[in-house]
Amino acid sequence: MNQNLILRLSVGVALVLVILACSFGQATPQAEPPPPPTAILPPTPEATPEAPPAIEHKDVPVDLPYERTSQAGDQDSSTTANQKRAPGGDRFTFGRYERPFNANTMDQYFPELDIINSIFYQDDAWIYATITLRGGDKEKHLSGQYGFEIDSDLDGSGEWLILASNPASTDWNVDGVQVWYDANGDVGGRITVGADEYGNGNGYETLLFDSGQGDDPDLAWARVAPQDPTTVQIAVKTALLTGDPTYMAGAWAGRDLNPALFDFNDHMTHEQAGAALIELENFYPIKELAELDSVCRIAVGFQPKGDEPGLCVTNPPKKVACPSGQYQCYNFGNQQICVCVP
């Protein structure tokens, strides 16, 4: 055999053996397993703020006492509403309002803001006010603000204002009930009850109770009278008066009984407020002071002398000619004002 051929074959065989030896001498690399899938965790919810603890009520009013403390009626504006006027009882100068109408045109009458009667009761624990309206709104609801002032020093300037907004339940509850106090004694201004030309007080500026919030969560309550859907009943603890058994009280109804604007006739002029009586032609109709009604004050726990500002006079000494033959008088200082009652 040709030696060159033999040599080539030998080299080739040797080369193959070397390649095979190298292949067997190296470990075949193993494929690395894929990493485990990352778990998708739900987002951590934001911390929910803790709800305030529920108010625990211990002192809840019961049924009203059988005997009333006092009573004061009020004009019924439904009798003249189609004439766009009040029948009487609206005297801005003397702090008396009969304005259950819209401003300027007086073509909307609001029976839910028209007080026709107010009665006060009292027992050892509670002072009760019942405020009866001519009716409900279009939905037959009492959708206004209702309340009463307490004048504990009998000077015509209120110290306390108790309000109930949009009462709906026939059960006693604190929702929408507030108690305000005049800490700096400026309600009424220089001329209590009467209009001050330059009044600049801040009214009832101290909120002591608001829907159960306050030092006493049971201080005041309200409800719609269970037997009469047109009557609001409001109760406040007698402890509010720190043991003083004598006071005067008067009822209110309105769309916005702003505590800071008491007395209303100290914060605007007669021209700005307008009038609900056509007879007062220089001021008629009502303007900025609208959707409002008030009742003269009654005496509780004392025999009035007769000159207490704002006090209703139950036995007026003079006759007043009224179509109905009935009238009601109240005092402005030493002056007596009488208005017809339908």
| Cβ contacts of 57 within 8 Å, gap of 6 or more | 174, 212, 217, 218
pLDDT by residue, tens only, the chain of 342 residues: 455 544 454 545 455 444 444 444 454 555 555 555 454 455 666 666 676 677 889 999 999 999 999 999 999 999 999 999 999 989 999 899 999 999 999 999 999 999 999 999 999 999 999 999 999 999 999 999 999 999 999 999 999 999 999 999 999 999 999 999 999 999 988 888 888 876 678 999 999 999 999 999 999 999 999 999 999 999 999 999 987 889 999 999 999 999 999 999 999 999 999 999 999 999 999 999 999 999 999 999 888 888 888 898 765 555 666 776 666 666 655 556 666 666
For 187, 273, 289, the CA distances from 268, given in Å and listed in that order, are 14, 7, 9
Residue 134, Cβ density class (10 Å: 0-12 exposed, 13-18 middle, ≥19 buried): buried
How many distinct structural domains can be found in the chain?
1
Residue 341 lies in a domain: no
Residue 78 lies in a domain: yes
Residue 56 lies in a domain: no
User: How many CA atoms within 13 Å lie on the side-chain side of 229?
Assistant: 10
DSSP string, 266-284: GSS-HHHH--S-TT-TTT-
Do the Cβ atoms of 286 and 101 come closer than 8 Å?
yes
Phi/psi at 273 (5° precision):
-75, -35
Residue 268 lies in a domain: yes
Do the Cβ atoms of 301 and 245 come closer than 8 Å?
yes
Residue 117 lies in a domain: yes
Structural domain span for residue 126: 70-306
Residue 242 lies in a domain: yes
Residue 49 lies in a domain: no
The pTM assigned to this predicted structure is: 0.79
Residue 35 lies in a domain: no
